[in-house]
Chain A
């Protein structure tokens, strides 16, 4: 099967045919709506953060002072908060996602699978502002009473669980993020597990492997790349998530050590302070945070795509 049709080459002197015009028009639209859009996004962020870049230079990334009234702007608390809350979300969300993926692909009876698969994916369709609303009125009080306080009492000697225990905290934000990335990671991983040839799985079982051993020895090596790509996509989503985090993380620009304390993220500070930023330098500082957020999440996404593409090619060649 040929994968493309000959694109009509124009002979010398021949007038442009409608087909060539058609291809050219589509090419222009494709370039404009995707390539030009991406370039414009980057250029606009660069241009509008220039005042902050020239004023603070590299110190912007390392300074912990965020005091708009005094004109002091440092992005470290936000970068730190974004990274810690996203990584903690992975720590909570990835094992659960993989458990769900294995359950739906290998364990669940057909009827349960048919109901549960779309239901878990439905979780991805719930808007983040609604998850944030639920976070404020249901999850945060629950976390304070049943998770943060016991953790503080029994494990408070660890700096990451030292008190006092708040409801609006990094822990609550990470739980919310974990809930939001579980549908993404579990559905891609489930597909990767299902893509492993059945003969290989049956071969391992026929040799006497238990299901756990079969998954470890046959499925994992095969699906590893796709699963890793899925985790990176989840990380990208967690880094860029705005509303749900803003509503539960407590929005305090400090370098926290306890996960039970409030924090702040890059996306959250932009959402909260953008309309208040009346001074040019303040606005530029927020946009520079946007630029950093954009670059980090693009990096994570490019890695995720490269990984999944590479493994797809390898798997396709087997």
Chain B
């Protein structure tokens, strides 16, 4: 009896210790980002172009570039992903549907660097060099499977009776899907889409050799563009202390935006459901 109880106690202790241990890196990360980042962030840091070490400068163009590249990715990825997810939810018993569903599942596991090679091969090589568009395509490739999944799941939550009621009232199939099912599921789709956007906004690897980097403000969709994650990476591995400090400032901006979006979405979703 004693041995059984002892085993139980030890196991319970192990579980509590695991949970505590997992919090340490998270707290350490948040603490370092905030404490090192706050001292760097200023109006100048947020609005100026990067400068050589010793001359200050900021991450303004990288913040601008991140919004542009993520915007391009969303413009490509969201419509395609929602359409595919809609097909999976509304026509689940076709062969195509099963194939698409399984492939989308598997594509969620494509390493992010691979989407970079993909966009390099089809955009950078064919359209004259690194560009914001190539970065957008790389991120869209990452996005699509997640958007497909989230749309499919949200639309499958809509009861079949609702579709039947709409059809019984004489609405054609396409109106039922677009006006009844899609609008009932829109909250779930928007939630999942925002979480996906938050996820890809922090991606670095797909941008390294697609969007590349730039010391200047945005110069056009077909030109290389600076982004926050790539800038943080470049500054982090540089040999200059001042650049390291600025990398922490960039980290605070990026993590601040991503976590705010995450928390807002989760709070909104929690209240609704």
Contact = CB atoms under 8 A, between A and B. Distances in A.
A5 B167 contact: yes
B57 to A, nearest CB: 19
A284 to B, nearest CB: 11
Given A3-B92, A243-B204, A127 B229 contact: yes
Interface stretch (A132-140, A148-156, A157-165): A132-140
A25 B88 CA distance: 13
Q: Is the interface of B mostly helix, strand, loop or mixed?
A: helix
A35 B91 contact: no
A267 B205 contact: yes
Nearest to A129: B204
A315 B205 CA distance: 38
Q: Which of B16, B81, B103, B258 gathers the greatest number of chain A CB atoms within 10 Å?
A: B103
Q: Which of A95, A270, A304 gathers the greatest number of chain B CB atoms within 10 Å?
A: A270
A174 B149 CA distance: 30
Contacts of A125: 198-199, 258-259, 262
Contacts of B219: none
Interface stretch (A61-69, A196-204, A289-297): A289-297
A44 B121 contact: yes
Contact of B22 (A40, A137, A182, A211): A182
Q: Which of B19, B93, B141 gathers the greatest number of chain A CB atoms within 10 Å?
A: B19
Contacts of B254: 127, 130
Size category of the A interface is 35 or more
Given A18-B174, A19-B172, A236 B167 contact: no
Interface in B62-81: 80-81
A137 B244 contact: yes
B247 interface: yes
A237 to B, nearest CB: 8
Given A34-B145, A100-B22, A297 B111 contact: yes
B109 A95 contact: no
B174 A212 contact: no
B26 A242 contact: no
A305 interface: yes
